[in-house]
Structure 1
C-alpha cells in the first residue's frame, strides 16, 4: 500500500492530481516553484499524458517542449491543458490538435511550426506568442480575448489607464493572429482579426475625440472595410431617410407637389410615399430619370444624397470585391 502523500493540486474544475508530493506539497508537474527552465520535457509529458495524469494546471514556465505531441487520437475532446502556465515555454513544432487550453497562459511562448488546429484557447493569455508557420485554422478564442474582458472590467471600475494598456495588448494579439492567418492564406479569418484589431484601436481613443468619432463612423459604414453588409444597411437607411424628407418637404411630379397631406386618404399618402421612395432610390443610385424633380430645400437634400450614393456604391464594390477575392 502506497502511503506517500499526494500532490495537493486541485483544479478549478474539481479534478485532483494523484501524483506523489515532491516535498513542497505538489508534484513535479504542478509545482510552480520548481524551475523547469530549459528542461527537455516533451517525452516525459507525453508519457504522463498517456498514463492519464492530470494535465490541468501544469506549471511549465520556460520549459523545453519542442516537438511535443499531445494529439489524442480517436477522441473528440482531446487533452485538457486548462489553467496551465506555458509562459515563455518552447513549444516549437508542438502538436496540440484539438487540445483545450482554457484559462491558461501561453504568454511569449514559442509556437513556431506548431499545430493549434481546433485548439480551444478561451480566456487564455496569448500575448507575445510566436506564430510563424503556426497552424491556427479553426482556432477557438471565444467572443473576446482575456485582455478584452479585463479591459471592459477595468473601464467599469474607472481604471482608464489600465484599460488603455489592456486594449493595446488586445490590439497586439489580434495583429499577431491576423499576420499568422495571412501567412497561411486564411484570408477570411485574417479579415475577422483585422476588424477586431481596429476595434481595439478604436477603444483606445479618448471617448469624445475626433479620432474615435471618425473610427465609429467607418465601423458603421463598412466595418473597417471588412463588412460589405454594413454598406448595404447604411445605403438603405440613407435612402429611407431621404425619402421621408421628400415626403415631408415635397417634390415635383407633373407640375404637382408630392408630399404628405393630412386631408388625403391613407392610400393617397401611401402612393405619395412610394413615389418619394422611388425618387430617393434613383437619386441615390444617380440614375436621375427626370420624371420627378426636387423643389426648394429638397434640391439640397437630393444633391447630398446623390453625392453620398456615388461614394457608397463605389465603397460597396471595393469592400465586396475585397471580401469575395479572398
Structure 2
C-alpha cells in the first residue's frame, strides 16, 4: 500500500462523503501508485469534471484557516499499548467506566472522520486522568517506549467539529466560552445546542464560515511552539510521558455549532415561524428541542413512514386547546394532538376528534355524558380509557392503536363501534360492560386481547376479526346474539366459562392453534358451520340447550365433547364434517342427532356413518357398533314403500336383520333368536304327536307301520335341536313320506344360517 499525501487523503475523504465513490473503492485506490485522481478517472469511477470539482474543494479546505489542532500521543509501539494503559487506569480506579464510555464515543467519531488519536489522549483532554498518572502508567506498561507529543493539523469537517482547544494551553478558554463571547448566547442556549447535535448534524447546506461562529484557533506553528515549550519544561532524565491535550468535554462530545440563522432555517423547514423564533432565542430553541424529541419518536420502527409524513403536515394542537374543545364541545379534525385529557371528571358536551393523530391520551375515570367520536384517528402511545363511562354512543371506527390500549372496567351504555380498527399492541377490555350493540367487525389485534368477565347486553359482532396473538374471552356473558363469523385466531383462543344466552355464530372461523369452550353454557343455538380448526377444539363440561351445528367443520386433530350436559332441545349436526378424532359419550348423542329428529333419514344415515368411522378411528368399538346400527336403521327407514313387495322387504329387513341380530352388532340377539327358533319348532313337532314321528330304531318307511309309543315334548326339543344344528343324535324321526321332512329341511337351513351369523358376529367382537 502506498503512502498517500494529505491532499490525496482529503480528496478521497470528500469523494466518499459526497457518495461519488464507495469506501471500498477508496481503499483500493490506495493500493495503486500514482495520483489518486488519475487512477479514478482511468478506471471510469469519476469524470474529469467531478475530479476538478473535488480538487477545488480540497484546495479550499487546505487553504482555509479553519484548522483544528487535535492532541495525539504518538508512540512507536503497537496500538495495544494505549489500550493497556487505559485498562491499567481502570484497574486502579483512576478513571470511571462512564468516563471511558464517553471518551470512546469521541474516539469513534474521530475515527469516522479519518483521524486516529489515542484513547488516553482523549481521557486526558476530558480531565479524566491527570498528567502525572498518565505518565506513570506509560512508564509502568512500557518503560522503554519512546513517547513524544505531536500536534496534527487536520482540515475542518463541517459535519463533526471536535470540541477541543489548542494543544499546549490548559488555561485556554473552551470553545463554548469563546462562542458565548462572540455570539452573546446564554449558557442555557449552548446547552440546548449540545443536545441538538444529531438534529443539526443532519442539515445539508452549503459550507459556512466557521470563523464567524467560534473564536479563531491558533495556527499550526503557534501550536507546535507551545508543545515544544511544554516538552522542554519536563525533566530530561525521565521518559517523556504522553501529554494529550484538550479541555473537559460535555457529555455530547462531538457537536457542530452552526450560526443562529442556520438553526432558524432548520426550524422554518419544520413549519415553525421564523419571526417568532427571532423574537425569543431561548424559547425558539426550547421548542426546537421538543420538536426534536417528537421527531425521534416518529422515527421509531413502530410508526410507519407514511404516518410520519402525515404528522409533519398536520396542524399541532396543544393540550390546553384540546381541553377547551372538550369542555365546549368543539370538534377537531385533521390535526396532531401531543396530549389529550380532560380537565374535569365529567364531560357533558359531545367529543368529536376525527382523522387526528394523538400522541398521548388519558381519560381514566372520565364520564362522557354525550356522544364520543374518535373515528379514523391514530394513537401513538398506549391509549388509556380505564374505568371510563360512555353514557351514549362511542365510536372508534377505523382507528389505529400503535401501542395498544386499556379499556379495563369501562362501561359503554350506548352503541359501541370499533369496526376496522387495528390494535398493534396488547389491549385489555377486562370487566367492561357493553349496553347496546357492540361492533368489532374486521378489527386487527396484533399482540393479543383480553375480554375477561365482560358483559354484552346487546348484540355483539366480531365478524372477520384477525387476532395474531392470544385471545382471551373468559367468563363473559352474552345476553343477546353474538357472531364471530370469518374470525381468524392465529394463536390460542379461550372462551372458557362464558355464557351464550342466545344464538352464537362461528361460521367460517379459523383456529390456527387450539380453541377452548370448556365449562361454557350455550342456551341458544351454536353454529360452527364450515369452521376450520388446525389444533384442538374443546367443549368439555359445557352445557348445550339447543342446536349445535358442526356441519362441514374441518378439524385436523381433536374435538372433545366429553362430560357435556345436553338439554332436551339439544341436537347435533355433523353432515360433511371432517374431524380427526371426536371424543363424545353415547349418552350425549342418543336422541340428539338433529337430522334423525327431523326425520331426514338420508342426512341422518351419512351423519351416523361419519360417527361410525370416527369411533373406529379412536378404537371405541361399542360406539362404532351403535353408530353402524343407527346407520343401517336409517338406511331401512330411507327405503320407500311403493307396494306390498317393498313393504314386505322392509319388514323382513327389520325382523331378520335388526331384531334378530342388530345388523350383526348384537351376538346376544342372535343367541336369543336361535333359542326361540328351537322352541318354536319343538312345539310344532310336538303338536304332530305320533302320527308323523317314529323312534329312530323302528323301520318307518311309511304310515302303514303303527307305533304305539308316543313322542314327549323333550323328544320334540331333541328333534328340533338335532335339525337346527345338523347334529347326529339318535331320536325320533319323521316317516319317510311325511310332509314334516320339508319343515325340518327349512329348519336345518335356517339353523345353519343363524349359527354362521352367530359365529361371525361373536368372533368380530372378540377379535377387535
* TM-score of the superposed pair, with normalisation by structure 1: 0.74
Q: 2:459 aligns with which of 27, 45, 49?
A: 27
| Residue 60 (structure 1) aligned with residue 487 (structure 2) | no
Separation in 1, partners of 2:501, 2:766:
41
Counterpart residue number, 1:180: 614
Counterpart residue number, 2:574: 127
1:6 and 1:242, CA in 2 relative to 1: closer, same or farther beyond 3 A? farther
1:34 and 1:81, CA in 2 relative to 1: closer, same or farther beyond 3 A? closer
Q: 2:762 aligns with which of 317, 320, 326?
A: 320
**Secondary structure of residue in 1 paired with 2:554:** coil
Separation in 2, partners of 1:101, 1:245:
54
Alpha-carbon deviation of 1:287?
A: 1.2
Task: Compare 168-177 and 129-138 and name the one that shifted more.
Answer: 129-138
**Secondary structure of residue in 2 paired with 1:115:** strand
Separation in 1, partners of 2:555, 2:479:
22
Contact 2:678/2:717 (CA < 8 Å) preserved in 1? yes
Counterpart residue number, 1:192: 626
Separation in 1, partners of 2:413, 2:566:
33
Which has a greater percent of strand? 2
| Residue 110 (structure 1) aligned with residue 554 (structure 2) | yes
Separation in 1, partners of 2:708, 2:435:
93
Q: How does 1:21-170 map to 2 (within 5 A)?
A: 21-23=435-437, 26-28=458-460, 29=478, 32=481, 36-40=485-489, 46=495, 49-50=496-497, 53-62=498-507, 63-66=509-512, 67-71=514-518, 78-88=519-529, 89-92=531-534, 93-108=536-551, 109-113=553-557, 114-120=559-565, 123-128=570-575, 130-139=577-586, 140-151=588-599, 166-170=600-604
Counterpart residue number, 2:742: 300
Separation in 2, partners of 1:33, 1:120:
21
Contact 1:249/1:297 (CA < 8 Å) preserved in 2? no
| Residue 247 (structure 1) aligned with residue 686 (structure 2) | yes
Alpha-carbon deviation of 1:121?
A: 5.4
Counterpart residue number, 1:282: 722
Contact 1:100/1:120 (CA < 8 Å) preserved in 2? yes
Instruction: Provide the aligned C-alpha RMSD in A.
Output: 3.1
* TM-score of the superposed pair, with normalisation by structure 2: 0.33
Larger Rg: 2
Aligned length: 280
Alpha-carbon deviation of 1:81?
A: 2.8
Alpha-carbon deviation of 1:19?
A: 5.5
Separation in 1, partners of 2:613, 2:685:
48
Separation in 2, partners of 1:42, 1:26:
27
Deviations 1:143-200 (A, max 9, x none): 352222221xxxxxxxxxxxxxx11111111011011111122222111100110000
Separation in 2, partners of 1:34, 1:137:
25
Higher normalized contact order (CA 8 Å, seq sep 6+, divided by chain length): 1
